Structure 1
Amino acid sequence: MLPLDARTARLLPWIVAIAFFMQTLDGTILNTALPSMAHDLAEDPLRMQSVVIAYMLTVALLIPASGWIADRFGTRRIFFGAILLFSLGSLLCALSQSLNMLIGARVIQGLGGALMMPVGRLVVLRAYPRSDLVRIMSFITLPGLLGPLIGPTLGGWLVEYTSWHWIFLINLPVGALGCWAAFKLMPDLRGPHRTRFDAIGFILFGTSMVLITIALEGLGELGMAHVRVMLLLLGGLACLAAYWLRAGRTENALFSPKLFNTRTFAVGILGNMFARLGSGSLPFLTPLLLQLAMGYSPSQAGMSMIPLALAAMLMKPLAKPLIDRLGYRRILTGNTLLLGALIASMALVDGNSSPLQLIVQLSLIGAFNSLQFTAMNTVTLIDLRDDEASSGNSLLSVVVQLSMSIGIAAAAALLSGFSAENKGNPDAVAWAFQATYLCIGLLSMFAAAIFLQLSPAEGRSPRRANPEVDPQD
């Protein structure tokens, strides 16, 4: 652990929080502007999905290398560069005169976005005692929740009253503040040992992530033929299998299989993968439900998501006391079952549901979803040694990105399938949403069996971070 002066220790979480806010705001503000952007650029609105896909693929490709890059070049330089790249990409997006220019600018944005949060979380992991990890992690994600809260509404307002260019220009003052703060206050942390970059492993793992991401997007929003999706998915899984077989006999593997010798890390990674299926699908499913099945306008649908984000923010300060009192095993097992049941309860929402019912359900989902994220992320990282921190943190970022894509793809596939089964039924749309929520909620609940494998004491007394004095070595 790096000793910090009082001022840096107080302000450092704010720097990481600014980066998280920029990413979440950009992710939620863009979708409302795609039709207006298509009109301005004289493009088919259906082709505008490539603007979203370009960013996601860049992030999926680069995240695996984020830990090594931070260890090699230092966290201050990389974090500063990540915010600068994200801001530069935002400026180029606003200046784009064609779809191809916009896609290129989004790739530059993705280069910055792939590094911001993994490197920021790595700094927190190395700079603060593990006993403070829950409190710090809760804080840095709190401003990020403002993105989903104000993104859709702000995006609609900017498009309606100014132009779509401002959804990117709004990142510039926030990015300038983040760059200044990173340059002044970010500690320059590096790995304990300089290692060679696992280039072959990066190519195998990166290729697998890109192929799997395209396959999942093809199954969901892109509507690819199932044959193409299966080929992409099998190709991605083959590259992933080749990577893990190679990693087992490679000394400086990008993600060493030895990480999974840390039990809390193994449980946290697998639990993150499956528990996030439900929460990952919510931003996709809920606005569609409100507009297609309940007749809400886009602005009304955006405003209806506010209780979910507010409840998530209010739950953050309660996460540490609850985890300290009950432990990770009880919190994650019970909360996973409860959250899955709440997601499934959205099957009770239809055109006759009152606004109060909707507010209560979304608020409860937001609160327990917030607790779930804090507990899952913390238990995954809390027992890692310093020499494992960058690699384990990067793998967590990959899993989060992948599980969100799987959640959206699964929800889209279920929704499409249930709709096709009931074509011609006047209530087909409402029934399809109800069945999809029920399935997604039940699937999320199965992750409780993974968290049940934790012992009651695991995560409560974090291992010491220094590998040379760790008694478990």
Structure 2
Amino acid sequence: MNDSASPSPSHGLRLLAIALIAWLEFLQNGLLNFASSQIMGGVGAGPEEFSQAAMAYALCAVMALFNHQWCVERFGSRRHLQASILLFGLGALLAGTASSPAGFIAGRAVQGLGGAAFFTAARLEVAQISPAKRGLGLVVFGQALLLGSALGPLLGGWLLQSHGWRALCLGILPLLPPAWWAASLLPLRPPARRPAHYPTGVFLCLLAAAFLLQWLIQQTPYRLFAHPQSLWLIAAAALGSFLAFRATHRRQASDRRRWRLLRRPSYRIGLLGYSCCYLLVSANSYILPMLTMQALGYDLPNSGLLLSVSYFAGLVFSLLYARLLLGKRPPSLRQTLVAACGLLAAYGWLMSGLEGNAERWRVAAILLLNGGFMSLFIMAVAQGTFRRIAPAAFGHAYQTKNIVRQVSVSAGVALASVFMQARNALHYTRLAERFSWNSPQFVDTLHVLRQQLPDLSDTQRLGVLAGELAKQSALLSCLEFFRLECWIALALAMSLLAWRAAD
């Protein structure tokens, strides 16, 4: 399998190949985030174990991303990408056939080892396109990511209803042969004559730092009040491992000079912006299915259709923004970022005002704002982060950016799951205080149910009321999350307005 043997494909085929590689990870994660509750029920997992699966995926992805350049230089990027596709498929098979939380976590870990390569490989391939045609390549790359995210919930609703939760993992397998073909089509680079060298100590220090950081993120909400001293120990160990990694890498790694080119304030601030965006987007993707299915009572296909609205709207917003950038007076980065935060604030405020009988068209209209935030914010951050990065350091810059993405996505899922768990418990307890024969409201409600449901016994009617109790507590928790998201958006907007260097 010679990486340089095949002739260069046409520009159109090259763009198609980039899209087929780029969208896989986003499609799979969109499917799983949409059906988190069903997956937890299928494997007998709780919210903590589901967040551990996200942590395992992110940890393995961080390891794979750190070694991305090493693998490319040693094996050739085509072999590396095709091996990643095989690992991704193996992980999907393990997760889709799991019968326990441990099996599902192991499958997601294997998927993380493979899936981490797709985003980086596709973006680096765009960077190899000639400058005259690179703009179209960036548009195709971004649209593929949004399309994968949009089809996740859309297909997820249909797959869940027709074939159950296992199809969400196994359903990705038919898409891997086209990705394999795309990998063989791209004019990727052969192995380097002198590949980068990472001593064992460097890798072990990074592995320890990444694991401890992910464990800290995942455990903080659970141990913050009960065992805070253990969190301080984990944080200290993570910091010590990271400092040891930096010291060892600076002294011994053969590619350390490439990383020095990334010491720019704009790049570091850009990584912070990426982290904020991905954390909010992943938390939002975890909460929205709970809102539509548990709190509002929509069925699976309608919930999937609603959740895909944001990403389809993102496709439109990204094209409009690209059009503005080509105009005579393109918006500045600060203007774009503030506008994106305004869309997020409006989205959070409107979502926090929903009621249990909210109509689907209203929810869909509000979700358009979320799509606008995602597209505008991430595109503007990407502009500011990479516009001054030297070509020699671009690969390392994108590796680091994707490491930040994986950590942020994992943190978003972990924090959102614990937020919902804590708020649900609080609201359920408060609402249950009225669930008593001593409450006139409870007695009146039960009397109404006797009239509306005469064929049911009082025990069955109590079950109906208990279901409504769980629905109301889920709704209140979701509304609190969106209210918090609104305040976060306003804080981001105020910070950007105060930061004059954003332009």
TM-score normalised by the chain length of structure 2: 0.76
Residue matched to 2:281: 279
How far apart are the structure 2 equivalents of 1:225 and 1:114? 35
Conserved in 2, the CA contact under 8 Å of 1:61 and 1:210? Answer: no
How far apart are the structure 2 equivalents of 1:71 and 1:444? 41
Q: Deviations over 1:251-298 (max 9, x none)?
A: 646696634433432231122122433223210122222334333344
How far apart are the structure 2 equivalents of 1:241 and 1:437? 37
Residue matched to 2:118: 116
What secondary structure sits across from 2:405 in the alignment?
helix
Q: What is the aligned counterpart of 2:324 among 322, 325, 332?
A: 322
* Structure number with bigger Rg: 2
Distance 1:104 1:447, change over 3 A: same
How far apart are the structure 1 equivalents of 2:363 and 2:352? 11
What secondary structure sits across from 2:330 in the alignment?
helix
Amino acid at match of 2:181: W
How far residue 93 of structure 1 moved from its aligned partner, in angstroms, is 4.7
Aligned ranges 1:68-467 → 2 under 5 Å: 68-94=70-96, 103-129=105-131, 135-162=136-163, 164-188=165-189, 194-197=195-198, 199-219=200-220, 227=228, 228-244=230-246, 247=249, 252=254, 258-324=260-326, 325-345=329-349, 346-419=351-424, 423-425=429-431, 429-448=474-493, 449=495, 452=499, 454=501, 456=503
Distance 1:90 1:188, change over 3 A: same
How far apart are the structure 2 equivalents of 1:417 and 1:223? 12
How far residue 313 of structure 1 moved from its aligned partner, in angstroms, is 1.6
What secondary structure sits across from 1:387 in the alignment?
helix
Distance 1:15 1:296, change over 3 A: same
Conserved in 1, the CA contact under 8 Å of 2:33 and 2:285? Answer: no
What secondary structure sits across from 2:430 in the alignment?
coil
Conserved in 2, the CA contact under 8 Å of 1:267 and 1:450? Answer: no
Q: Deviations over 1:420-473 (max 9, x none)?
A: 6654147665444333222233334444536945453xxxxxxxxxxxxxxxxx
How far apart are the structure 1 equivalents of 2:363 and 2:417? 22
- Whether 1:44 aligns to 2:65 is no
How far apart are the structure 1 equivalents of 2:223 and 2:24? 26
Conserved in 2, the CA contact under 8 Å of 1:275 and 1:445? Answer: no
How far residue 100 of structure 1 moved from its aligned partner, in angstroms, is 5.5
How far apart are the structure 2 equivalents of 1:177 and 1:158? 20
Distance 1:352 1:439, change over 3 A: same
Conserved in 2, the CA contact under 8 Å of 1:133 and 1:382? Answer: no
How far residue 413 of structure 1 moved from its aligned partner, in angstroms, is 4.4
Amino acid at match of 1:338: G
Q: Deviations over 1:213-247 (max 9, x none)?
A: 23323346999965455543443233234434555
Task: Please tell me the root mean square deviation across aligned C-alpha atoms, in Å.
Answer: 3.7
How far apart are the structure 1 equivalents of 2:346 and 2:246? 36
How far apart are the structure 1 equivalents of 2:151 and 2:193? 40
How far residue 134 of structure 1 moved from its aligned partner, in angstroms, is 5.2
Amino acid at match of 2:187: M
How far residue 394 of structure 1 moved from its aligned partner, in angstroms, is 0.5
How far apart are the structure 1 equivalents of 2:289 and 2:41? 23
Residue identity (%):
22
How far residue 113 of structure 1 moved from its aligned partner, in angstroms, is 0.6
How far residue 362 of structure 1 moved from its aligned partner, in angstroms, is 0.4
Contiguous gaps of at least 5 residues in structure 1: 457-473
Distance 1:53 1:243, change over 3 A: closer
What secondary structure sits across from 1:349 in the alignment?
coil
How far apart are the structure 1 equivalents of 2:406 and 2:163? 32
Amino acid at match of 2:342: L
Amino acid at match of 1:342: A
More displaced, 443-452 or 279-288? 443-452
How far apart are the structure 1 equivalents of 2:489 and 2:252? 35
Distance 1:137 1:276, change over 3 A: same
What secondary structure sits across from 2:125 in the alignment?
helix
How far apart are the structure 2 equivalents of 1:217 and 1:378? 31
Q: Deviations over 1:10-40 (max 9, x none)?
A: 3223223212322122212235667777787
How far apart are the structure 2 equivalents of 1:97 and 1:419? 27
How far apart are the structure 1 equivalents of 2:477 and 2:104? 35
Residue matched to 1:64: 66
Conserved in 2, the CA contact under 8 Å of 1:79 and 1:120? Answer: no
More displaced, 163-172 or 341-350? 163-172
How far apart are the structure 1 equivalents of 2:181 and 2:306? 36
What secondary structure sits across from 2:128 in the alignment?
helix
